[in-house]
Amino acid sequence: MRVSKRASGAIALGAAFALVASGCSSSDDGGDAGNSADGAITVDGTEPENPLIPASTTETGGGKIIDWLWTGLVEYPNNGGAPQNILAESIETTDSKVYKIKIKQNTKFHDGTVVKAKNFVDAWNWGAYSPNGAQNSSFFADIQGFADVNTADPDGPDGPQKAPEPKAKEMSGLKVVDDWNFEVTLAAPTAVFPTKLGYSTFMPLPDAFFSGSAEDFGKKPIGNGPVKFVSWENNVQLKLTRFDDYQLRDKMKIKDVTVKIYQDDTAAYSDLVSNNLDFQQQVPVSAIAGDKWKSDLTDRAVSSTIPSTGIIAFPIYDKRFADPKLRRAVSLSINRQEITDKIFFGNRKPADSWANPLTPGAQAGNCTACQYNVDEAKKLLAEAGGFQGEMVFYYNADASHKDWMEAVAQQVKTNLGINARAEGVPTFAVFRQNINAHKMKGPYRAGWQQDYPDVENWINPLYVTGGSSNDGQYSNKQVDALAKEASAAPSLEASHAKFGEAVKLIDQDVPSMPIYFQLQQSGHSEKIKKMELTNVGELDITSVEL
């Protein structure tokens, strides 16, 4: 999710290189950045679910902060262009299986230690080693030897059995060559691998991480990005400040950033309108009606289209939702057009595909379960034996999800005769804790923001058995096999075609329900003179000028 404010510096790929070395780009900032060099901003945020460790963070509240605290090998330009090297000097391969990675010399972590090749290798091994419990461990599955360091719990997290002890603590596919070079050998050729390296899971960790507890480190993280950690007051705010020894091209123009934790997005919006908040990524639904946000904010209003989809997932571990016919019936009973028109006033688009259409490799219209067909829904519900009891749709109540989730529940109730209602969980942090503990008792909001620009990111984490964000515990061996073939395909074209085959099976199983494609409405304060959004709609704090 780490992104840059510029697209310059990307170079076309030759057959022998997945990514090539890119030099520093020339500045296109305009104006005098020094005028705001000691300025400060406050932005809205949500309480991170976990301590701030890259491989253990899967949600956007903590992920946004990690994206600011760390810089990885690769970055994703704000304009949605091709990934480009940032900390990597070069990433070379002749067969898409063995990658030789050279990093830029003498960049630093926030504690002053130098970022070396071993800091990547050690971090990836730690994230992959299953006893460490990193939620993003599955992202390392491409690397040779992953199966030796990562074992699965045979009866799930709630069963009496424990996962067997891994055979090894380090993946055989990782090799430190010297301080600035390391080699990655994959289990099979994987063309998309360099694209994934900008995702936060692949960030380096300093030596200090390995000398203490991971949890303690995550509460006072040490990254290598343009800002460094200052403090964290739970459910109140996090403070960050400029890292003056940062040597890469996306340096901060201001000094301090406060991430203020709001329990209600309407309170954040009120602060934004009155210039007591400098940036809100998504204004509340109540402000969208009649374009009120545009009249409130005038030239401070920012519209954007981002690769993000509003989704409702099923807790398939609950036997009541085990039948795919029931799940498909519920999905077909939802009128997505009506929801985007009446609830979002046309500021969202009805979802009709499993991957957001802005994603490379996504196929438009491949979600037949997204169609509105009440007669078919009733037929499938009858074939599934109906649904007994109450169907509760859950959402986090600290953002604007109440209206659309209630509309979904009402449509299910009206069209299928199921006793359905929506219920809010007070905070996003508690909501995510319940999801990760597999305690959800009904369908729940599970929107997805793209981590890296490839359709693989919309399949492997969400729908492959054991995927990092497969929270509903969906499992289909055919999908797993096709996804494995797709990930190991020799070209992106072949990979995307194979993922398309997997999606056809997912579409029949309906493990979740895509509801809408995100159109984002943001706003900033009067004191911000210039800013850019990342390719996923977050504030690029390195672009801010006051």
298: left (phi over 0), alpha (psi -120 to 50) or beta: left
Dist. CA 546–CA 533, nearest whole Å: 16
218: left (phi over 0), alpha (psi -120 to 50) or beta: alpha
DSSP states of 383-414: HTT---SEEEEEEETTSS-HHHHHHHHHHHHH
pLDDT confidence of residue 36: 54
Count the alpha carbons within 13 Å of 5 in the hemisphere toward its beta carbon. Answer: 23
Q: Which helix (H) or strand (E) holds 175?
A: strand 174-178
Q: What are phi and psi of 283, to 5 degrees?
A: -70, 155
What secondary structure letter does DSSP report for 13? P
Dihedral sign of CA atoms 52, 53, 54, 60 in order: negative
pLDDT confidence of residue 31: 38
pLDDT confidence of residue 2: 28
Dihedral sign of CA atoms 499, 333, 433, 395 in order: positive
The one-letter code for the residue type at 96 is S
| Low pLDDT (below 70) residues in the chain | 1-37, 154-161
What secondary structure letter does DSSP report for 12? P
Q: Tell me the domains of the chain and their CATH numbers.
A: 3-23+33-253+532-545 (3.40.190.10), 257-303 (no CATH), 305-519 (3.10.105.10)
Dist. CA 430–CA 448, nearest whole Å: 18
Distance of CA 418 to the CA centre of its chain: 33
Dihedral sign of CA atoms 274, 302, 62, 71 in order: negative
Angle of helix 374-383 relative to helix 324-332, nearest 10 degrees? 160
The two three-digit tokens of residue 391, written as one number: 């169907």
What's the mean pLDDT when you consider all of the chain? Answer: 90
Query: Do 283 and 295 form a contact (C-beta atoms < 8 A)?
Result: no
Q: Using one digit for the tens of pLDDT, what is the confidence trace for 407-446?
A: 999 999 999 999 999 999 998 889 999 999 999 999 999 9
Residue with tokens 């054991």: 466
The two three-digit tokens of residue 130, written as one number: 């299953």
pLDDT confidence of residue 155: 60
Query: Do 489 and 191 form a contact (C-beta atoms < 8 A)?
Result: yes
Q: Which residues are CB-neighbours of 413 under 8 A, at least 6 positions away?
A: 419, 420, 421
Reference 315, options 399, 421, 391, 423; nearest CA is 391
pLDDT confidence of residue 161: 67
Give bridge partners of residue 52 from the DSSP assignment. Answer: none
